[in-house]
Amino acid sequence: MRKLLTLFSIVFFLTVVSVPKAFSQVELFGGYSHLGLKGTPSNIGSSMNGLEGSAYLHLLGPWGAEADLIDHYGVSPRLPSNGGAYYVPKLMTFYGPRFTLALPRIHPYVHALFGSVHGVAIAPSGTGTAKVSENAFGMDLGGGVNARITRHLWVRLVQLDYIRAQFSHNGQNETRISTGLVFRFGNW
């Protein structure tokens, strides 16, 4: 799965580098991400901190393509009291379309991204407990607002997302909020 995600990332990067002048509007984002864990067992924390990076390629009119990579940390997965495994989403990679409304000083947007969620859990085993991990299909539906500071430097005021991960034992619904800096290249 990681090889496939690496391949998609390389293809996306090569596409960004080789696009014609008419499509030479690229946006790079880096910032903080806070993931709220819904329905976690009582002995697992209810939120995680993380870092997020994304690349956006403006294609035509308000439409573009986005790639998003998120890595969360700060919560150790533990054995839930019900004896089953609860996967804590750690690393997420999403790709998909984005619709941006270009106003003079702010750019609100919505996106529908799909990809992979890597989760870890502590599960019962024959000798006690064992750390297990699983890759699952995931989707990220949401949007945000970018505000202009200078021509090439913007700030992502807020990005709110609903994340769905379908692990083998259960599906999980999470919410995420992000903020950070946006670097824009090309003529917007």
> What distance in Å separates the CA atoms of residue 37 and residue 47, rounded to the nearest whole number?
5
CA distances from 43 to 80, 92, 175 (A): 7, 23, 20
Better-scored residue on pLDDT, 14 or 165: 165
pTM of the model: 0.78
Whether pLDDT at 28 is above 60: yes
If you average pLDDT over residues 78-106, what whole number do you get?
Answer: 79
The type of residue at 141 is: L
Q: Which of 1-5, 30-34, 108-112, 124-128 has the lowest mean pLDDT?
A: 124-128
If you average pLDDT over residues 73-80, what whole number do you get?
Answer: 62
Instruction: Please tell me the predicted confidence (pLDDT) of residue 21.
Output: 47
> What distance in Å separates the CA atoms of residue 72 and residue 20, rounded to the nearest whole number?
35
Domains and CATH numbers, the chain: 2-185 (2.40.160.20)
Tell me the torsion sign for CA atoms 18, 21, 22, 25.
positive
Residue 10 CA to chain centroid, in angstroms?
17
Instruction: Please tell me the predicted confidence (pLDDT) of residue 22.
Output: 46
42 — pLDDT class (breaks 50, 70, 90): low
pLDDT, tens digit, 9 for 90 and up, residues 135-151: 889 999 999 999 999 99
Better-scored residue on pLDDT, 164 or 20: 164
Q: Which of 150, 144, 151, 132 is nearest to 177 (CA)?
A: 144
Question: Are 134 and 119 spatial neighbours (Cβ–Cβ below 8 Å)?
Answer: yes
User: E strands within the chain?
Assistant: 26-37, 47-60, 63-73, 88-100, 106-125, 128-148, 153-166, 171-185
Question: Are 176 and 70 spatial neighbours (Cβ–Cβ below 8 Å)?
Answer: yes
Whether pLDDT at 69 is above 70: yes
If you average pLDDT over residues 22-41, what whole number do you get?
Answer: 81
Cβ of 7: how many Cβ atoms within 10 Å?
Answer: 10
Question: Are 34 and 179 spatial neighbours (Cβ–Cβ below 8 Å)?
Answer: no
CA distances from 71 to 13, 45, 61, 68, 180 (A): 19, 17, 31, 10, 15
119 — pLDDT class (breaks 50, 70, 90): confident
